[in-house]
Chains A and B, each alone.
Chain A
Amino acid sequence: MRNITKTFGSIVANENARLDIYRGEILAILGENGSGKTTLMNMLAGIYFPDSGQIYYNGKEIVIASPKDAFEYGIGMIHQHFKLVNVLSAAENVALGLHEKGRFNIKKVAERIRELCDQYGFEIDPNEKIYNMSVSEKQTVEIIKVLYRGADILILDEPTAVLTPQETEKLFNVLRNMRDAGKAIVIITHKMNEVEELSDRVVVLRKGAYVGGVMTKDTNAEEMTNMLVGHTVKLEIDRPEPVNVKPRIKVEHLTVRNEEGLVKLNDVSFTANSGEILGIAGVSGNGQKELLEAIAGLQTVESGNICYIEDDGKEEQLIGKDPLSIQKMGVSLSFVPEDRLGMGLVGTMDLSDNMMLRSYRQGASPILDQKSPHALAENVVKDLGVLTPSIETPVKNLSGGNVQKVLVGREIASAPTVLMTAYAVRGLDINSSYMIYDLINRQKQEGVAVIYVGEDLDVLLQLADRILVLCAGQVSGIVEGKTADKLEVGRMMTRVGGTGSNE
């Protein structure tokens, strides 16, 4: 790809970008949020059409005007958000849109899928319906879909964002098999360790343009980060000493079942202190979401206590109260949920309207105060460096990192005494991640009790003062952040109590 430029309205996604893809190689594309990685790949896959520039295939200039054209050249893309029909089976989804000659024969499709599975090491039942599948199985179907169409060049957009470590390892093995079979693999990612582990070559994009490409074995995380950000950054996270530590939230014997009656939290007890960051580690789906939502008043609780402890030691029960009554009690509880646009913000509303989600009830008048949220939005944009065309832009049009800044900015603005964050840096680039760590640390120093649910153990070990490990809804152990051992925490994540040493 040469000199590729693509604009959306007044936003320039790619400017004179270039890229080379070779067979038998795994290429990683690195870039910050909104640096145009996905757009560039979408143009290769025929989803978008470039404003200008050329694409060459085997040395000849080609035009890709539709996904169908892309398939003719053997280019297939696995998107971040799956494009599958839930009520159909895997085989039916693969067959969708195929125009094979002769009678439609779903059995033949299933047969061919099994062959592909054997060839590359997938595990999937072609007759299983999509809605019965896990995220990783759905992803497998997506990959098979493009392989079935004879793709030689596979593009995967942040494939590991939704996978557990084990599933990631499986996927990487499959990708390596494909590379060895002579296919070209392109993966878009944020995670340095994945680049180092998987790729043969890495290309960095910044602000829509090509910055550089190196062989992975000739570089290291530090160097890649510098290329990515454009200036030198240090890859260390501060851990200021906790100040004025006092118990703030006390959770005792908390048990929660989900709608299907499955136990999601089992007899969980812990205390979160003010002026301290309590990290929560665990494989995702082991009760983290339910724990935070129970504290926030969004989750029905089967048994147990959640107490908010005021400065003077008075305890107040939070169970059975909805978010509004918790707020009315004078408890300033901020919550940055995992699903930012689905739960923390309203995507179709602009920045200013999203700022007043928490505060719009203030005042007795039935009329909204729209001035102060607007001022708050301007402050957040300025202080946190949110990249947005204007305050009046719907937040769904912002990139992931900027959406998160808007949400965190609002939650911090209410001067909370408790701040809960779930996967605060998921999908964020390095620069934005460090900004979020910094914001969280500042809250801690102001005496806020921070509960930080994370997935990156390295970060948790550097950031948190104490780490609570959840495993299958139980407290597997609570360890000191400073002295914790990564392997030990990892063991506790997979087995309650780890090697036996309980708290």
Chain B
Amino acid sequence: MNEKHAPLFHIAKRKSLTWYKAWGIRLLAILLALILDALITTLVTGLNPLGVYGTIFKGSFGSMRKFWVLMQNISILLCVSIAVTPAFKMRFWNVGGEGQILVGALATAACMILLGNSLPNAILIPVMVLASVAAGAVWGLIPAFFKAKWNTNETLFTLMMNYVATQLVAYFVIVWEVPKGAGKIGIINQSTEAGWFPMIGTNRYLINIIIVAVLTFFVYYYNRFSKHGYEIAVVGGSEKTARYVGINVQKVIMRTMALSGALCGVAGLLLVAGTNHTVTTSISGGRGFTAVMVAWLAKFNPFAMILTSFLIVFLERGASAISSDFGLNASFADIITGIILFFIIASEFFINYQLVFRKGHRKTEGKEA
């Protein structure tokens, strides 16, 4: 007889958890991930996992310089993450962060190269800000316009805009290459430092961090408390309802994507004027995509994104540190960080659901026999 018995456990929705229990589950997930990582490290490489973890930690906190690099990387990633957030809240799948960063960076570089010798920094930098914001906004606005007017698929459209932006940068890199034939621009205005963001004290990166901190507050406030933010949420929730209460859906889509693109443009500005002082096709380093994950993990809360972007950058830097320190190839570092991320994402499931185990051990089975 093919008799059934009650399953060992079933999944049930949880009563809402207190915040400290929810964070307890997340911490437990990280702990479990570290244990699994340790086992894999020992079995596969024979290295002492504690040593590996120490290196990961040192990759970010090993020296003052490393710490500031960590902070700088977090600020750029955070900037892109808060940039894509308004669009995502509107359920507009903007995966064009890459392209929007690139055109922002390109606009900044253009100002620095073309106007660096003729304008003083006090005028040049505001011009760069305007140029990068405008470039990013336009890059965001184009797919939004087509979406609003003809309901094109924004995911494909923004994705394709990335390639256009990459090629645009590639073209201008050759136009402005220094020296001729080098195939790259090199450091712009190295001697005059025209258009470079000023150092605060001796710190090159602090200004970027401050700018992003201010923007994070702004986006949080904009989403949560402004009328615009409310309209975004309504359009994201139901376009029909938005029309029903007289919200101009097309306008909201375009306005929001312009904002989203503009903030990505700012990220490009920070990269060129604040840190790299040059532009390459790979300057955004995939942040336009990584930011999507950062934003989702933080459930679109800009303050939680500080934490998630820290996590991602910390793991990335740790991974590169272990591959160089132990001579392991980069794939192994990716395995380690991948497992940690997987556990963190999976822990969200256990915050919303619980496993209910069968009561009365094997009682039903006994009856059948």
Residues of A with Cβ closer than 8 Å to B? Answer: 7-10, 49, 51-52, 61-65, 69, 296-298, 322-327, 335, 337, 339, 341-349, 353, 356-358, 360-361, 366-368, 370
- The reply to whether B230 and A368 form a contact with Cβ atoms under 8 Å apart is yes
Chain B residues closer than 8 Å to A360, beta-carbon distance = 227, 230
From residue A121, how far is it (CB to closest CB) to chain B in Å? Answer: 35
Contact code string B1-43 (vs A, CB < 8 Å = 1, else 0): 0001111001011111000000000000000000000000000
From residue B367, how far is it (CB to closest CB) to chain A in Å? Answer: 7
Contact code string B227-271 (vs A, CB < 8 Å = 1, else 0): 111100110011011011111100000000000000000000000
Known interface pairs A63-B6, A298-B244; A366-B228 also in contact (CB < 8 Å) = yes
Chain A residues closer than 8 Å to B247, beta-carbon distance = 324
Chain B residues closer than 8 Å to A327, beta-carbon distance = 246
- The reply to whether A324 and B7 form a contact with Cβ atoms under 8 Å apart is no
- The reply to whether B230 and A69 form a contact with Cβ atoms under 8 Å apart is no
A366 partner, pick from B14, B227, B356, beta carbons under 8 A: B227
**Residue of chain B at shortest CB distance from A342:** B240
| Apart from A7-B12, A368-B226, A368-B230: 7 A-B pairs, beta carbons within 8 A | A63-B6, A65-B10, A324-B246, A339-B240, A347-B238, A357-B234, A370-B225
Report how far A367 CA is from B218 CA in the complex, Å: 12
**Residue from the set A64, A325, A349 with the largest chain B CB neighbour count within 10 Å:** A349
Chain B residues closer than 8 Å to A361, beta-carbon distance = 227
The 10 closest A-B pairs by CB, nearest first: A324-B246, A346-B237, A323-B246, A343-B240, A49-B10, A9-B15, A63-B4, A357-B245, A10-B15, A65-B7
**Residue of chain A at shortest CB distance from B245:** A357
Known interface pairs A9-B14, A49-B7, A360-B227; A298-B243 also in contact (CB < 8 Å) = yes
From residue B232, how far is it (CB to closest CB) to chain A in Å? Answer: 11
A9 partner, pick from B7, B16, B359, B364, beta carbons under 8 A: B16
**Residue of chain B at shortest CB distance from A337:** B244
Known interface pairs A65-B6, A65-B7, A327-B246; A349-B237 also in contact (CB < 8 Å) = yes
Residues of B with Cβ closer than 8 Å to A? Answer: 4-7, 10, 12-16, 225-230, 233-234, 237-238, 240-241, 243-248, 356, 359, 364, 367
Report how far A63 CA is from B230 CA in the complex, Å: 47
- The reply to whether A344 and B241 form a contact with Cβ atoms under 8 Å apart is yes
Known interface pairs A335-B244, A349-B233, A353-B233; A343-B226 also in contact (CB < 8 Å) = no
**Residue of chain B at shortest CB distance from A360:** B230
Chain A residues closer than 8 Å to B240, beta-carbon distance = 339, 342-343
Report how far A322 CA is from B245 CA in the complex, Å: 9
**Residue of chain A at shortest CB distance from B238:** A346
Known interface pairs A63-B6, A327-B246, A346-B233; A366-B226 also in contact (CB < 8 Å) = yes
- The reply to whether A322 and B246 form a contact with Cβ atoms under 8 Å apart is yes
- The reply to whether B4 and A345 form a contact with Cβ atoms under 8 Å apart is no
- The reply to whether A342 and B241 form a contact with Cβ atoms under 8 Å apart is yes
Q: What are 21 sample pairs from A and B whose C-beta atoms fall under 8 A apart? A: A8-B12, A49-B10, A51-B12, A51-B356, A61-B367, A298-B244, A327-B246, A339-B240, A342-B238, A343-B241, A343-B244, A344-B241, A344-B244, A345-B241, A346-B233, A346-B234, A357-B234, A360-B227, A366-B226, A366-B227, A368-B226
From residue B230, how far is it (CB to closest CB) to chain A in Å? Answer: 5
Chain A residues closer than 8 Å to B227, beta-carbon distance = 360-361, 366-368
Report how far A360 CA is from B235 CA in the complex, Å: 14
Chain B residues closer than 8 Å to A52, beta-carbon distance = 359
Chain B residues closer than 8 Å to A366, beta-carbon distance = 226-228
Report how far A353 CA is from B274 CA in the complex, Å: 40
Report how far A370 CA is from B230 CA in the complex, Å: 11
